[in-house]
Structure 1
Amino acid sequence: MTGDLSLFGVFVPKLLVLALASYVALVLLKRVLARLGVYRLVWHPALFDLSIFILLVAAAANAAQWYVS
C-alpha cells in the first residue's frame, strides 16, 4: 500500500488530505472556542491554534491507520 490516494487520476499524498480535513475541523473548533471565551485565557493564540492543528492531524493519522489495519 502506498502513501498516495488517486483522485481522478491525480495522486495526492494521504497526509495532505488529512491536513486539509484537520484544518476544516480547526476552523470550526476555533469558532466554538472563541464563542466560549477560551482565547482570553490563552497566552499566545497562534501557538495554541498550531498545537491544536498538530493534535488534530495526529489524531486523524492515527484513526486512518487503525481504519486501514
Structure 2
Amino acid sequence: MGLREWSLGGVLLSPFLIYAVLALLVTGVLRFGLARIGATRWIWHEALFDSALYVCVLAALVALTGQW
C-alpha cells in the first residue's frame, strides 16, 4: 500500500487511517474466534486485552504492508 495519501472524493486520507480500520476488523475477528473456543475465560482484564491485541495487530499490519 505504501505511505501515500489516498484521495477519496477530493479528501486526502492518511494510509494510517486505513490500517487502523483494517486492524479493528481483524481484532474483532480474532476476539470472536477466541470467544468461540472459550479462551476468553482466561483473560483477566478484557478491556486491557482488547487494547493490547489491537495495538499488536495494527503494528503487524503496518510492518507487513509497509515493506511493499
TM-score normalised by structure 2 residue count? 0.86
Q: Partners in 1 of 2:50 and 2:35 — Cα distance?
A: 11
1:28 corresponding residue in structure 2: 29
Q: What number of residue pairs does the alignment pair up?
A: 67
Unaligned runs of 5+ in 2: none
Distance in 1 between residues matched to 2:28 and 2:3, nearest whole Å: 29
Q: Distance in 1 between matches of 2:21 and 2:42?
A: 27
TM-score by length of structure 1 reads 0.85
Q: In 2 relative to 1, CA 39–8 (structure 1 residues): closer, same or farther, beyond 3 Å?
A: same
Alignment partners' CA distance in 2, 1:58 and 1:12: 19
- Extract unaligned runs of 5+ from structure 1: none
Higher relative contact order (CA 8 A, sep 6+): 2
Q: Which amino acid aligns with 1:29?
A: L
